[in-house]
Structure 1
Amino acid sequence: MNSVLIKNARIVNEGVIFEGDVLIEDDLIVEVSESISAKSSNCMIIDAEGNYLIPGAIDDQVHFREPGLTHKGDIKSESRAAVAGGITTFIEQPNTVPNAVTQEILEEKYQLAANRSYANYSFMMGATNDNLEEVLKTDPKTVAGIKIFLGSSTGNMLVDNEATLEKIFSSTDMLIAVHCEDEATIRENTAKYIAEYGDDVPVTAHHLIRSEEACYISSSKAVALAKKTGARLHIFHLSTAKEMDLFTNKIPLEQKKITAEVCIHHLWFTNDDYATKGNLIKWNPAVKTANDRKVLWEALLDDRIDVIATDHAPHTLEEKKQPYLKAPSGGPLVQHAVVAMFESHLQGKISVEKIVEKMCHNPAKIFKIEKRGFIKEGYFADLVIVNSGLPWSVKKENIFAKCGWSPFEGFTFKSRITHTFVNGKLVYNLFKVKDIRAGKRLSFDR
């Protein structure tokens, strides 16, 4: 039996921080108590005194690029980066090559992950303008949800047929996750800037091309369609102040039919950072203004926004160094998301309890993930120890993402992930990932 005893931790769970011990046997948490004694001589004991013990973070939106785009990243490399960052579970998107828009292709991705993933995994089924029959075959107990791109992004899976959209929304009880940007608005804005600059459009125009209006038009339509059909809607990577009026904090999360997510980059960067970061912070939707960031923070803290995620989407530096119009959107974030939020905590912006709520508890609730996202007896032992007083700097040599760069490169974080457990196995310890593919396929209580 694999037995691990974590002693003297500052355990963070369900809005409370308390000092105590956690006993792991095999892949489960078997006891959480003020004081636990080791029950066998071969029990690994870790003294976490002074450090936080949090549930492993659940990232509900990543792009790990396998199959078909593995020069950018793959399940092995990016899941290693995830566990190094305290993310023990990920939900990956369907815009790989080929797109995961049939049950056969979707299942092939699960088979790849079964042998390669360091973290727990699920994959979204992709919707297109003409695959409704395949979408409706999706098993709600073994697949996270349905993904619809209402704005074009890497992979060109845009769904723009309104009759098709309404049919999808009205035909499934599964969670529908959407990328919301209005394509007509983006095309019009792009043409305007090309007319002004030719092929040399500056990246500083990105948030004006993929504008507040483009986001709001699309997200407001999605919300209206969800209300009309009764669909279960989850809107990914919100980026504007205006969109926050679409969401409520008037009812408990468990009663919400429409939920919202914000990503690390929209909480951290603003359009002022394009001058120094350039295409490295080119994402879709775009990083926007300081006021947008301010209101996103307000909505996160007052529970209009339910989840913090990464939209981890690596590209090579060579791809990112192309001119703005050719450079792809997206960047690597899984390794630095949890410590970025702890940095925000140390700056007085957010409590540790709220970080855990938004990165661990709420994704588990929204997707109805079985036995993960909490520090509870009988739950899987996905656990992370965080030392909030152990500074380290992001350098090329300690970046685990295959692309080898980070928008945080050169930044010194005050907190460090010291240990990551996935299903009871210690897979990461102080900049070293053990070669243990401990990840399991997620199951859902639906």
Structure 2
Amino acid sequence: MNKTLIKNGTLVNEGQQYQADILIDGQYIQKIDRDISYANANIIDAKGLHVLPGMIDDQVHFREPGFTHKADIRTESMAAVAGGITSFMDMPNTYPNTLTQDLLEQKYQIAEHSSLANYSFFMGISQSNLEEALKTDLENVCGLTDDGLYFDNDQGIMANHPEFLEKLFKRSPHIITLHSESDAIIAKNTEQFIDKYGLDIPPSAHAEIRSEAACLATTNQILELAKKHQNRLHIYHISTAKEAFLLDAGSDVKSKRITGEACIHHLWFSADDYERLGFKIKWNPSVKSELNRQELLRAVKDNYIDIFATDHAPHTLAEKQGNYFESMSGGPLVQHALVALLEFYHQGVFSLETIVNKSAHKVADLYRLRNRGYLKEGYYADLCLVNLNKPWKVIDANSFYKCGWTPFVNTSFKSRIETTFVNGIIVYNNGHFNTSTKGNRLMFEKDRFN
């Protein structure tokens, strides 16, 4: 039996909510209609449930190879599908850094045998590998990024090297995705806090060390360069209102040359939470003021922010402890990202249509994914069944991250991801995983520049 019929669910798709059945044939959605009958299908009654296209997360750090004591592709893809994420794009700051085509393909080979979700991997870009990076295949690799990579160990991220960006933007037909913070401003702020506190800098200082000004300075600079060359630039994890409102508002990400994203932690947490959670919410860029959080929510609704992402970057709990300089930045998020967004729906902040639009549709459009991100006939059956009225509480025991902790511990959510399909196969169902099947390599339109 190769067909599955999902009946009586409420679909959320392309700005609408409506009741319909979905007939899945193999990997694909064969038919969507009001009342489908098919005698030999495996029938799933989704009455009372909402059917959403699976979230596509364009920024994760699954830590393989090199840091698998924190996470690996198998464990984090399991956490992802438990959270309704059906596809991910992984960063190059593994060990070794993904700076050659051979190392890039090695990661694809690992995922082919271990990932429950669909996958793609960014090619890393540095001052030393420009020619190698430009060989990257546009159709089967998501893009180029510097996220998590540092030039010559101590020279900072690409946003601090406009002369190199100029060279890259002149030549690259790829989507270029950047982390934007000023190393000089961060270094100056750090020295001021060392003078005041020594090594005992409090967690709350992170928002002032990696400040609004540190983000804004480089974002202004890279926007100017990208506009000059009309490149495809995507700015990761925007954490300040001023940055967000530098972007052009508009819903058509295919026509935008410059796009931006907001991560779940910047929308959920604020500087007020450092006292309660300490270094558990230490991320780069930092979690900032409540005003910035509220304005980011507004920027999402007004279409200055194009998509949602997680920046899932797990460390062990021991690695999150110690003093300010010992505690590593980043944390696990993929399992709780979609339910956190759905909590905003319950709070009246976002509509379900907005959540689906910016977690699935627009991600697929931005990267020009082939046949994913929508509930459409002929598209891959990547979707999740969600109960919007089944409250639960996050505890370590019901979290699937390899690192064994979450900043959402003791948080109660009103919505629950009940079932997740990847390529037409149930990979997660009410706490149970199907590990016998694996996700597919994501494929993209060849022309993603125009």
The alignment's TM-score, normalised by the length of structure 2, stands at: 0.96
Could you tell me which residue of structure 2 aligns to residue 101 of structure 1?
Answer: 99
Between 140-149 and 241-250, the greater mean CA deviation after superposition: 241-250
Decide whether aligned partners of structure 1 residues 251 and 22 sit closer, same or farther in structure 2, where only a CA change above 3 A counts: closer
Could you tell me which residue of structure 1 aligns to residue 79 of structure 2?
Answer: 81
User: By how many angstroms is 1:2 displaced?
Assistant: 1.7
Q: Which amino acid aligns with 2:217?
A: I
Could you tell me which residue of structure 1 aligns to residue 300 of structure 2?
Answer: 300
Q: Which amino acid aligns with 1:237?
A: H
The CA distance in 2 between the partners of 1:333 and 1:18, in whole Å, is 30
User: By how many angstroms is 1:438 displaced?
Assistant: 2.4
Between 434-443 and 382-391, the greater mean CA deviation after superposition: 434-443
The CA distance in 1 between the partners of 2:191 and 2:311, in whole Å, is 27
Could you tell me which residue of structure 2 aligns to residue 117 of structure 1?
Answer: 115
User: By how many angstroms is 1:152 displaced?
Assistant: 5.7
Q: Which amino acid aligns with 2:258?
A: I
Q: How does 1:5-154 map to 2 (within 5 A)?
A: 5-40=5-40, 43-149=41-147
CA contact 1:150–1:182 (8 Å) conserved in 2? no
SS at match of 2:12: strand
SS at match of 2:146: strand
The CA distance in 2 between the partners of 1:278 and 1:152, in whole Å, is 26
CA contact 1:24–1:31 (8 Å) conserved in 2? yes
Could you tell me which residue of structure 1 aligns to residue 277 of structure 2?
Answer: 277
SS at match of 2:303: coil
CA contact 1:170–1:230 (8 Å) conserved in 2? no
Matched residue pairs, number? 443
Could you tell me which residue of structure 1 aligns to residue 157 of structure 2?
Answer: 158
Could you tell me which residue of structure 2 aligns to residue 288 of structure 1?
Answer: 288
The CA distance in 1 between the partners of 2:301 and 2:83, in whole Å, is 23
Q: Which amino acid aligns with 1:141?
A: E
Could you tell me which residue of structure 1 aligns to residue 254 of structure 2?
Answer: 254
Could you tell me which residue of structure 2 aligns to residue 427 of structure 1?
Answer: 427
User: By how many angstroms is 1:151 displaced?
Assistant: 8.4
The CA distance in 2 between the partners of 1:413 and 1:205, in whole Å, is 29
Q: Which amino acid aligns with 2:394?
A: V
Could you tell me which residue of structure 2 aligns to residue 186 of structure 1?
Answer: 186
User: By how many angstroms is 1:251 displaced?
Assistant: 6.6
SS at match of 2:245: helix
SS at match of 2:205: helix
CA contact 1:129–1:161 (8 Å) conserved in 2? no
The CA distance in 2 between the partners of 1:129 and 1:82, in whole Å, is 33
User: By how many angstroms is 1:241 displaced?
Assistant: 1.2
CA contact 1:151–1:183 (8 Å) conserved in 2? no
The CA distance in 2 between the partners of 1:16 and 1:427, in whole Å, is 26
Could you tell me which residue of structure 2 aligns to residue 243 of structure 1?
Answer: 243
User: By how many angstroms is 1:254 displaced?
Assistant: 2.0
The CA distance in 2 between the partners of 1:325 and 1:178, in whole Å, is 24
SS at match of 2:99: coil
Between 189-198 and 78-87, the greater mean CA deviation after superposition: 189-198
User: By how many angstroms is 1:378 displaced?
Assistant: 0.4
Between 219-228 and 65-74, the greater mean CA deviation after superposition: 219-228
Decide whether aligned partners of structure 1 residues 347 and 251 sit closer, same or farther in structure 2, where only a CA change above 3 A counts: closer
CA contact 1:182–1:217 (8 Å) conserved in 2? yes
SS at match of 1:319: helix
In structure 2, the gaps of 5 or more residues are none
Could you tell me which residue of structure 2 aligns to residue 341 of structure 1?
Answer: 341
CA contact 2:142–2:444 (8 Å) conserved in 1? yes
Q: Deviations over 1:282-319 (max 9, x none)?
A: 00000000110111011100101000010000000011
User: By how many angstroms is 1:67 displaced?
Assistant: 0.3
User: By how many angstroms is 1:197 displaced?
Assistant: 0.6
CA contact 1:386–1:418 (8 Å) conserved in 2? yes
Could you tell me which residue of structure 2 aligns to residue 445 of structure 1?
Answer: 445
Q: Deviations over 1:314-370 (max 9, x none)?
A: 000011122122101000000000000111100110000000000000000000010
Q: How does 1:397-412 map to 2 (within 5 A)?
A: 397-412=397-412
Decide whether aligned partners of structure 1 residues 323 and 351 sit closer, same or farther in structure 2, where only a CA change above 3 A counts: same
Cα-Cα RMSD: 1.4
CA contact 1:119–1:437 (8 Å) conserved in 2? no
Could you tell me which residue of structure 2 aligns to residue 2 of structure 1?
Answer: 2
CA contact 1:149–1:180 (8 Å) conserved in 2? no
Decide whether aligned partners of structure 1 residues 135 and 152 sit closer, same or farther in structure 2, where only a CA change above 3 A counts: closer
- Report whether the alignment pairs 1:379 with 2:379: yes
Q: Deviations over 1:147-185 (max 9, x none)?
A: 0249869x9773343322111111111100001001111
SS at match of 1:254: coil
Q: Which amino acid aligns with 2:107?
A: K
CA contact 2:87–2:119 (8 Å) conserved in 1? yes
Q: Which amino acid aligns with 1:69?
A: F
SS at match of 1:325: coil
Q: Deviations over 1:407-442 (max 9, x none)?
A: 100111110000000001000011112223321000
User: By how many angstroms is 1:249 displaced?
Assistant: 1.4
The CA distance in 2 between the partners of 1:250 and 1:389, in whole Å, is 32
Decide whether aligned partners of structure 1 residues 369 and 276 sit closer, same or farther in structure 2, where only a CA change above 3 A counts: same
Q: Which amino acid aligns with 2:205?
A: A
Could you tell me which residue of structure 2 aligns to residue 355 of structure 1?
Answer: 355
The alignment's TM-score, normalised by the length of structure 1, stands at: 0.97
User: By how many angstroms is 1:246 displaced?
Assistant: 1.1
In structure 1, the gaps of 5 or more residues are none
Q: Deviations over 1:209-261 (max 9, x none)?
A: 00000000111111111001111000010000111221111473221000010
